[in-house]
Structure 1
Amino acid sequence: MPTGQVVWIKHLRVSDWEQRILASADAPAVVVYRTAGSSSQQATVAAVLDEMETTAGQLFPTWLPGAEGITTVAGAAPVAVRRLAVAHAAATGQSGPFLADLAAAALTGSTAHTRRHPPEVRARGLARVIAASFGRPACAVVLRPPDHLDEAATLALAQAAQWLVDHGRLTVWIDSDSPYGIESRPRATQPPRATEPPPVVRPRREPRGSARRTPSVIGKPHPTSRAEVVLEAALARRTWAAGRAWNHTVRPGPLVNPVRVDLLWKRERCVVEIDGDDHRTPAKFTEDRHRDVMLQLNGYAVLRFTNTQVLDDIDNVLVLLQQFLANRRRPAKGP
């Protein structure tokens, strides 16, 4: 997947390439957004930046060192996060006023709070924040436009995508047919010739879901999952938790498709899943049971905890995990 430019990709299926891309430390952090099909380049850019700001708010405080313990807006908390943001910006060469506004908005749950800053500042700052949250060197945006864009909307989308690359130092992958005669290209190259349609990558179609998506992070808790972050912080202080791996793929058997699990102790063949409210739906419940059976048939134990259990009763969760791992590590008795 080319980076640092605009690429049109027909029938992009995120799940097909997510594991491959994120397995590399040099790969960008990837976020997926739907676009409205506007015929205005400026409106398309503004909408993408607003979506990126919402994502940055969800990732807070991962990208702001020192803000991990600030969980309330009461008292001097907003002033504290602004000071932390200004100091962090000075140390990392970012815009202090922009980062301070973004931190304050993330703490209070506000949206589009940084619109007073120039779009160029927003684009570059948001790209750096999202990349830092995932421990990546850069950020890639997947744009999913509506089907059957007219010529004006297609041109606006292409121009907006190139603007994001030029001014935000982003990678932009557009999940759509590349229009004939419009070809994304690195800067300082010759314009495309109308007789040469651009090459199109053709993976399978992924069902269109929510407008915003942040794929999992291999080897660490997902920044948007407070339960995963809290559990990892607790496990990191306990020697018995050594050997764990977050968000890894497990292949239960040679004839079974690999599955992504939240937390894994590979040697003990212990899988831990942290379930949000979406796991209560009939479809998700059925899928979870199928995954559990496949893993259990191939020797894995599956422990499930809800977000509420982790956040409200983490001591009990830790006790259960410690006891289970101790049993798994105990030498088997002879006959």
Structure 2
Amino acid sequence: MTNRGDIAGEYVFLMDWSALPASGVVSLKGVGAAAIALALDDLPDDAPAVLLTRIDQVSGASQVIDELIGRLERTAYDLYPAWLPGAEVTPGRSTIDRVAARSLAATMAASTPHHRPFLMDLAANAVAAHSGGESSELSLKYSSAGLMAGLVRVISESFVRDAVVFALYPAAVFTAAQQEQLAATCDWLATYVGVWLLDDITSPLDRFPIQSLEPGDAPVADEQTWTLPTLTYPPLAGRPHPASTAEGKLEAHLARQHWAGSRRWNQTVPTGDLSPYVRADLVWPEACLVVEIDGADHRTAAKYADDRRRDVALQLAGYTVVRFTNEQVLSDTPRVADIIEKLRSDRLAAKELP
């Protein structure tokens, strides 16, 4: 069912994720890359892990496959240690840390479908990626099929989701020959992930089923979209977003503050029937306080309108919402934390009043 909020006389639509397939290849009409990126903020827990990725060039199916596998591999390193139970501390810089990660991976593989050697190598590389150390070249040791299967499993477990979907959009218009090569790539990818084709990336090929979203099924398009990164993925419940330097820096500071121990990153907050939930960047549940960290995309018209929808839904549910820009967090993290501490204290004090 599509949910709709009326903000300042304008309608903002939320994606009906249940209408989209989690497997196979489908060409989506009526929704573009920017709209998918917007909707990822409130991706429901029962939706697949959606990886929105740009296809920059197509010189053959194998080239695209290798490029996408490389992006999956880098994403797995970014998501570490979410996918390796027990590796909850900040990765270190010594050989001992890699040995410990390999040991944890071996233990994990013993009771799961993971391929033990691959998971051990991936864990060691993840430590190296976080610490600036040297890593091994996985493509020299494992086939494309082995890499794809292993990486998809790691990523789906990181997000605690049953499926992974690649949402592909083009950097430019591709020739007919390039579209054929991309179609072959999609056929191969569909063995491991669902594939959504956006922005007419394979048009005018009539090879894959077309799903047209009704106007109410997708977020409104923005007249000036922000520049999307090469790959965009949703936040991890319980952790700062790995792609957000600001969230990571704020978390590093808050981890040293005794008052901030009840914080919850990227959690869904129930907000009632009109808008059932909002996935907030940072929450103090006992104080009903939500903190949002806004990047450059929040300056666009569509994102601004969606932020207002989210704020109103949270406020109606009894939450105080405070927003900081990335720049504010990065330039003066202690001051941002001080403001949050005071708001939390004030909220708790107000709840104690008769």
Category of TM-score, reference length = shorter chain: 0.7 to 0.9
Is contact 1:35–1:144 with CA below 8 Å preserved after alignment? yes
1:170 aligns with 2:193: yes
1:53 aligns with 2:76: no
1:147 aligns with 2:172: yes
1:74 and 1:265, CA in 2 relative to 1: closer, same or farther beyond 3 A? Answer: closer
> C-alpha deviations, 1:51-99, integer Å up to 9, x for none?
1111111111111111112521224111111121122122211112211
The residue type paired with residue 228 of structure 2 is: G
> What's 1:210 paired with?
229
> What's 1:194 paired with?
none
CA displacement at 1:4 relative to structure 2:
1.2
The residue type paired with residue 42 of structure 1 is: S
Secondary structure at 1:241 match in 2: coil
The residue type paired with residue 170 of structure 1 is: V
Given the two structures, how large is their TM-score scaled by the length of structure 1? 0.72
CA displacement at 1:182 relative to structure 2:
3.7
The residue type paired with residue 87 of structure 1 is: T
Q: Matches of 1:154 and 1:282 in 2, distance apart? A: 33
CA displacement at 1:322 relative to structure 2:
5.5
Within-5 A mapping of 1:231-246: 241=262, 246=266
CA displacement at 1:302 relative to structure 2:
2.1
Structure of higher RCO (CA pairs closer than 8 Å, 6+ residues apart): 2
Task: Work out the number of aligned pairs and report it.
Answer: 302
Deviates more, 1:152-161 or 1:6-15: 6-15
Q: Matches of 1:144 and 1:172 in 2, distance apart? A: 11
> What's 1:113 paired with?
137
> What's 1:14 paired with?
36
> C-alpha deviations, 1:259-315, integer Å up to 9, x for none?
76312356744222356xx57x9959xx69x96xx76997735275836877x8999
Q: Which runs of 5+ in 1 are unaligned?
A: 185-197
1:93 and 1:248, CA in 2 relative to 1: closer, same or farther beyond 3 A? Answer: closer
Q: Matches of 2:323 and 2:175 in 1, distance apart? A: 50
1:309 and 1:103, CA in 2 relative to 1: closer, same or farther beyond 3 A? Answer: farther
1:306 and 1:314, CA in 2 relative to 1: closer, same or farther beyond 3 A? Answer: closer
Within-5 A mapping of 1:77-156: 77-109=97-129, 113-116=137-140, 117-156=142-181
Secondary structure at 2:111 match in 1: helix
Q: Matches of 2:181 and 2:135 in 1, distance apart? A: 24
1:67 and 1:55, CA in 2 relative to 1: closer, same or farther beyond 3 A? Answer: same
> What's 1:42 paired with?
62
Q: Matches of 1:245 and 1:139 in 2, distance apart? A: 22
Q: Matches of 1:209 and 1:249 in 2, distance apart? A: 26
1:183 aligns with 2:214: no
Higher Cα radius of gyration: 1
Is contact 1:133–1:223 with CA below 8 Å preserved after alignment? no
Is contact 2:287–2:344 with CA below 8 Å preserved after alignment? no
Secondary structure at 2:155 match in 1: helix
Q: Matches of 1:132 and 1:228 in 2, distance apart? A: 25
> C-alpha deviations, 1:199-239, integer Å up to 9, x for none?
2435565635211111235x53345154576689789x989
> C-alpha deviations, 1:233-268, integer Å up to 9, x for none?
789x989839x67344798xx9x9x97631235674
Q: Matches of 2:253 and 2:24 in 1, distance apart? A: 37
1:264 aligns with 2:283: yes
Q: Matches of 1:260 and 1:247 in 2, distance apart? A: 5
> What's 1:193 paired with?
none
1:75 and 1:146, CA in 2 relative to 1: closer, same or farther beyond 3 A? Answer: closer
> What's 2:345 paired with?
323
Q: Matches of 2:320 and 2:206 in 1, distance apart? A: 50
1:149 and 1:259, CA in 2 relative to 1: closer, same or farther beyond 3 A? Answer: same
Q: Percent identity?
A: 25
Q: Matches of 1:55 and 1:249 in 2, distance apart? A: 26
CA displacement at 1:163 relative to structure 2:
0.6
1:64 aligns with 2:75: no
Q: Matches of 2:63 and 2:352 in 1, distance apart? A: 61
CA RMSD in angstroms, aligned pairs only: 4.3
1:93 and 1:37, CA in 2 relative to 1: closer, same or farther beyond 3 A? Answer: same
Is contact 2:240–2:265 with CA below 8 Å preserved after alignment? no
Q: Which runs of 5+ in 2 are unaligned?
A: 1-19
Q: Matches of 1:269 and 1:115 in 2, distance apart? A: 47
